[in-house]
Structure 1
Amino acid sequence: MTIKVIMAGATGWVGKALIPAIAAQTDMALVGAVSRNAAGQDSGVTAGGQKNGVVVSGTLADALSSASDVVVDYTKPNIVKAHALEAVSKGRHMVIGTSGLGAADYAEIDKAARANGVGVLAAANFSITATLMKRFALMAAKYVPDVEVIDYASAGKADAPSGTARELAEMLAEIRQPATARPVSDVSGVPETRGAAVGTGTGVQVHAVRLPSYILSCEALFGLPDERLTIRHDAGSSAAPYVAGTLLAIRRVSEFKGLVRGLDALMD
């Protein structure tokens, strides 16, 4: 069976890498592409390659007028939720690679997906090595209660923290034991310099750094008396690391109903 795919965010950093990758798969067919700025153009050309015959739509609604199975979204934080709800309402499975959504947003998407009998796979990072970083950090949190997250990204990144750091902190907060560090509420000076608490309970402190020359990096810092552990992932300037994980998600998202978070759910 050929999986018919719509690529939303076709002219974005990851979208340009996915357009030819999807078209090259023997079990997939690119049937739609969405980009407001490139509407009416050939999606292969807008991705920097040869014509592929798939014309870019200006809106997801236009792209959904044709038969499709899976919508892949690499757009923007202020767009992705509406796209997800629109796609699942039309009976399409959804793969979300866009960051910026919170727990309440995911809960709403999950409810809509279950009501429409479709699957949604949302991951803050579709890189295999970034997924392993998260897995190793969650393993460490079972034994080391004190952990903080440092999130590095480019100076122009709109959301803080990044989806990768936010997802990691939320999951760490669910499993780690009570921290021994002084509560932020008891800190004098400028308490905001201790970062922001992300996740349930007291949360995990996250520090977002935004500077030129960084692409995306995420660091989980663990501390015990007289010893420290750092688990870090660094992304390069290419979108290639996110392609393989997204293709895996496209193939597997129809296997479940409702929303699943994290590529690691599909890795075992």
Structure 2
Amino acid sequence: MSVRITLAGATGWVGRALVAAIAASEDLVLAGAVSRSATGQDAGEAAGLPYLGVPVSATLEEALKAPSDVVIDYTKPGAVKAHALTALAQGRHVVIGTTGLSAEDYAEIDRHALKVERGVLAAGNFSITATLLRRFALEAARYVPDVEVIDYASAKKPDTPSGTARELAELLSEVRQPATSKPVAELTGVCETRGGSLGAKEPVQVHSLRLPSFVLSCEAVFGADNERLVIRHDAGSSAAPYVAGTLLAARRVPSFIGLKRGLDAVMD
């Protein structure tokens, strides 16, 4: 049986590539599309493809009038939480590729998903290799207590840190040992240069660079006595790395209830 997809952000950088991949898939069907900039157009033609017979809606509520199983969201940080709650209330499973949500936002989405018995899979990065960065970094953090995260992105990226870096730092804080570096509260000078602290258990310092020529890069830097380990992921200019992981998530998300974070939650 095919999985019917409602895609929010259908004309965005990743959205356009997803429209093409869903149209080419044998087990996925594009049931609805959302894009304010292309409202009323055909989803295929808006993505530079042949006619698909799926009209683009201005809002998710309008798109959900057509039956579907899963909502994939690649919109804006300010819209994704409301989209997730709307989709859950209307009986859809949800895949969140948009970044910028807080731990509290995810907790609220999880509560709603459990209540309506639907699945939500959220990832700061659906790239397979970015998922491996996270997996390897979490393994290293069990043995090396000192770790910080550096996040690189283009000069115009609106959110900081990136979803990849935020998610990585929050997960590292759950497994790492206490840092040996001097606490930020005890520093003098311009303390903001030490970055931001993320994570509830053992916070991790995150440093965000926003410069031309970067697309998305994230690295976990571990320091031990007389040695360092750097685990880094660099993304290119194509959206292709995110497509396969997103579609894997769409196929797997109906198999569980509640919120899971990270593609590796369903990779195995």
Whether the TM-score (by the shorter chain) exceeds 0.5 is yes
Identity, in percent, stands at 67
Deviation at 1:201, TM superposition (A): 3.2
Letter in 2 for 1:26: E
Distance 1:45 1:240 in 2: 19
> 1:174-189 maps to which residues of 2 (within 5 A)?
174-189=174-189
Q: Deviations over 1:228-263 (max 9, x none)?
A: 000000000000000000110011000000110000
Q: Which residue does the alignment assign to 2:2? A: 2
> 1:122-161 maps to which residues of 2 (within 5 A)?
122-161=122-161
Q: Deviations over 1:60-91 (max 9, x none)?
A: 00001111000000000000000000000000
Contact conserved, 2:174 with 2:202, CA < 8 A, in 1?
A: no
Distance 2:238 2:256 in 1: 31
Letter in 2 for 1:116: V
SS in 2 for 1:53: coil
Unaligned runs of 5+ in 1: none
> 1:26-105 maps to which residues of 2 (within 5 A)?
26-105=26-105
Deviation at 1:210, TM superposition (A): 0.2
Distance 2:23 2:130 in 1: 25
SS in 2 for 1:40: coil
- Runs of 4 or more, structure 1, over 3 Å off, are none
Unaligned runs of 5+ in 2: none
Structure 1 residue 235 and structure 2 residue 235: aligned? yes
Distance 1:201 1:84 in 2: 27
TM-score, normalization: structure 2?
0.99
Distance 1:212 1:75 in 2: 22
Give the aligned length: 268
Q: Which residue does the alignment assign to 2:16? A: 16
Deviation at 1:93, TM superposition (A): 0.4
Q: Which residue does the alignment assign to 1:115? A: 115
Letter in 1 for 2:4: K
Letter in 1 for 2:191: P
Structure 1 residue 171 and structure 2 residue 174: aligned? no
Distance 1:195 1:117 in 2: 38
Deviation at 1:51, TM superposition (A): 1.2
Distance 2:251 2:202 in 1: 37
Distance 1:201 1:253 in 2: 28
SS in 1 for 2:79: helix
> 1:210-221 maps to which residues of 2 (within 5 A)?
210-221=210-221
Q: Deviations over 1:137-187 (max 9, x none)?
A: 000000000000000000000100000000000000010000000111111
